[in-house]
């Protein structure tokens, strides 16, 4: 009955140990699941923060994209206005350049007319000098004719003088004609000179106007360069803004994709957390069942301990009696070991005696053989004593060696 109770108690203890192990395993599993849930919750919170940040960044990028998209049409309108203005300036510049070309032509014409005027002035001056010279020559001729008309004494001289007078008169007429022609040319030259001076004045006025147009051309060209630079800067700004818009669109697409991925990850994490919560709930229910079962086993175990409590004294007495029996058996075993040791020692002594006996018999046999040989040798020595005196020491030596050998064999072993 005690063995059955003890066996039942042992089985209960094993069951209790298994229940405790199962409980510890479940508690460890629940703790690990709780850690996993906490970790997933933390990851989920971080993911929500990332989603919020991405959403804010997405909103900011969309706002920036909207602003950039609104500014580009305005800049394009400004570009068109500048292009129109540049076109008008180019048209004005064409007109101004045409006027500048006219200015060059007028300038060339002015230089030509100015040279012509100088030449005409020189011609008038030369003609005036020629008129003065002709007038002087005319007066001299008149004086000479008058002087010659007064000479009438000598006929030959008179004829000669009259011929000279006629010749001088012809010359005078020619000079007068030449003088009239020169005066006419001088008057014409003065008229041309006045006309040239008027034309030069007109040319100077046109040149002045052309100079003004030239300054306007410079201003127009400077304004055109400024507008072209501003247009280039605006076009560059538009290009940059369009590139920025493309980049923002790409960023928006990337952020949208990242946001979608984060939301998918959030859904997956939420599903994992829900699954982990379900597993944790199942484990907690199993733990509750095991704790209930463990309580029942503990109650049964306490009951069995109470039942076997009164058997403990009987078991102790049996154990004491068993200890005494064990002590007696131990004493008998020790005595048996002593006897076995003594028997082994005697067997060893007997074996040693047998070995010594065998060696003694061998030594005796050897001694008998040596003794027989010694006797034969001694007989031979005795017979040869009289005839071979020269070999006596050698024979004695050999006999002594045989004697020593026999002595060695006959000595008892220690």
* Three-state secondary structure call for residue 151: coil
Average pLDDT over residues 122-146: 68
Could you tell me which residue, 293 or 124, shows the higher pLDDT? 293
pLDDT tens for 245-279 read 677 667 667 766 776 777 777 677 777 767 767 77
* pLDDT one-digit tens code per residue, 15-38: 667 767 766 776 777 777 678 777
Stretch 78-103: mean pLDDT, rounded?
67
CB–CB of 92/220 below 8 Å?
yes
From CA 335, how far away is CA 322, in angstroms rounded? 20
Average pLDDT, integer, range 305-321: 69
Q: Which long-range contacts (CB under 8 A, 24 or more apart) does 33-40 make?
A: 33/276, 33/279, 33/280, 33/283, 34/280, 36/276, 37/273, 37/276, 37/277, 37/280, 40/269, 40/272, 40/273, 40/276
pLDDT for the residue 81: 73
Output 147 or 386, whichever has higher pLDDT. Answer: 147
124 confidence band (pLDDT: 50, 70, 90) = low
Please check whether the domain covering 2-304 is classified as CATH 1.20.120. Answer: no
pTM > 0.85: yes or no? no
Do residues 141 and 172 make contact, with C-beta atoms less than 8 angstroms apart? yes
Distance CA 20, CA 370 (A): 92
- Which pLDDT does position 342 carry in this prediction? 76
- What are the sequence ranges of the domains in the chain? 2-304, 339-410
């Amino acid at each position: 009955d005690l063995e059955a109770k003890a066996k039942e108690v042992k089985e209960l203890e094993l069951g209790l140990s298994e229940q405790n192990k199962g409980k510890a395993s479940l508690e460890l599993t629940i703790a690990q699941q709780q850690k996993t849930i906490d970790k997933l919750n933390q990851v989920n919170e971080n993911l929500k923060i990332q989603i919020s940040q991405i959403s804010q960044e997405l909103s900011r990028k969309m706002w920036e994209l909207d602003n950039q998209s609104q500014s580009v049409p305005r800049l394009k309108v400004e570009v068109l206005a500048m292009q129109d203005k540049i076109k008008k300036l180019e048209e004005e510049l064409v007109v101004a350049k045409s006027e500048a070309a006219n200015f060059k032509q007028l300038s060339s014409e002015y230089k030509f007319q100015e040279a012509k005027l100088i030449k005409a002035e020189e011609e008038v001056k030369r003609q005036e000098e020629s008129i003065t010279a002709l007038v002087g020559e005319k007066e001299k001729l008149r004086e000479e004719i008058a002087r010659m008309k007064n000479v009438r004494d000598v006929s030959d001289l008179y004829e000669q003088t009259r011929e000279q007078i006629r010749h001088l008169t012809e010359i005078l007429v020619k000079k007068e004609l030449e003088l009239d022609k020169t005066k006419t040319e001088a008057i014409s030259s003065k008229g041309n000179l006045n006309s040239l001076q008027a034309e030069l004045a007109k040319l100077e006025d046109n040149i002045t106007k052309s100079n003004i147009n030239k300054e306007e051309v410079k201003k127009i060209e400077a304004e055109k360069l400024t507008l072209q630079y501003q247009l280039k800067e605006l076009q560059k700004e538009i290009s940059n803004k369009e590139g920025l818009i493309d980049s923002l669109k790409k960023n928006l697409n990337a952020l949208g994709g990242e946001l979608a991925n984060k939301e998918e990850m959030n859904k997956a994490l939420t599903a994992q957390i829900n699954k982990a919560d379900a597993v944790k709930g199942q484990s907690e229910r199993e733990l509750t069942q095991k704790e209930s079962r463990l309580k029942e086993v503990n109650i049964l175990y306490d009951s069995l301990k109470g039942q076997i409590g009164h058997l403990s004294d009987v078991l102790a007495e049996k154990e004491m009696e068993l200890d005494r029996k064990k002590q007696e058996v131990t004493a008998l075993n020790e005595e048996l070991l002593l006897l076995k040791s003594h028997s082994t020692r005697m067997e060893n002594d007997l074996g040693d005696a047998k070995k010594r006996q065998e060696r003694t018999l061998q030594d005796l046999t050897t001694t008998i053989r040596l003794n027989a040989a010694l006797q034969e040798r001694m007989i031979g020595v005795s017979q040869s004593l009289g005839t071979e005196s020269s070999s006596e020491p050698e024979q004695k030596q050999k006999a002594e060696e045989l004697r020593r050998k026999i002595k060695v064999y006959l000595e008892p072993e220690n």
